[in-house]
């Protein structure tokens, strides 16, 4: 945490390439990710990249919601995780039930429309204004 709030921020503030060069060694050391991967990403490691790469050698991918939980990587050649998330997939039914109960019992709102916490169809078809 001390590094992230100090020298890492200072390095990143020096620009993309320069900051990447300055910080890559320490970021690799702290994260356990290969130095080449960290350098290629200019020492900026998104959650999804860490989840995909941290246990690559064991054929697993981590949950971005809880990095202590890994599952088989069903698409090891893909740069992104393509499989289900063990934490998210188990959380959705519980969170959905809790929300529906809250709306029904606390807010006294009733509807025949089913509530979907996450809607993959909507997500896939969402127009982010880039088309």
How far is residue 7's CA from residue 125's CA, in Å, rounded to a whole number?
41
59-78 tens-digit pLDDT: 999 999 999 999 999 999 98
What is the mean pLDDT of the segment spanning 5-23? Answer: 94
Q: Assess contact for 73 and 59: CB atoms under 8 A.
A: yes
Q: Where are the domains of the chain?
A: 1-45, 87-125
Q: For residue 1, give the H/E element and its range.
A: none
Using pLDDT thresholds of 50, 70 and 90, give the confidence band for residue 120: confident
What is the mean pLDDT of the segment spanning 25-47? Answer: 97
Q: Is residue 131 scored above 80 in pLDDT?
A: no
87-108 tens-digit pLDDT: 999 999 999 999 999 999 999 9
């Amino acid at each position: 945490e001390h590094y992230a709030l100090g020298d890492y921020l200072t390095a990143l503030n020096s620009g993309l390439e320069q900051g990447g060069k300055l910080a890559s060694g320490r970021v690799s050391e702290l994260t356990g990710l290969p130095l080449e991967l960290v350098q290629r990403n200019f020492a900026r490691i998104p959650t999804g990249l860490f989840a995909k790469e941290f246990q690559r050698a064991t054929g697993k991918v981590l949950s971005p919601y809880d990095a202590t939980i890994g599952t088989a990587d069903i698409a090891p050649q893909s740069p992104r995780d393509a499989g289900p998330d063990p934490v998210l997939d188990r959380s959705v039914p519980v969170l959905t039930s809790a929300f529906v109960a809250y709306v029904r019992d606390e807010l006294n709102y009733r509807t025949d429309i089913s509530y979907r916490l996450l809607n993959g169809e909507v997500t896939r078809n969402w127009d982010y204004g880039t088309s």
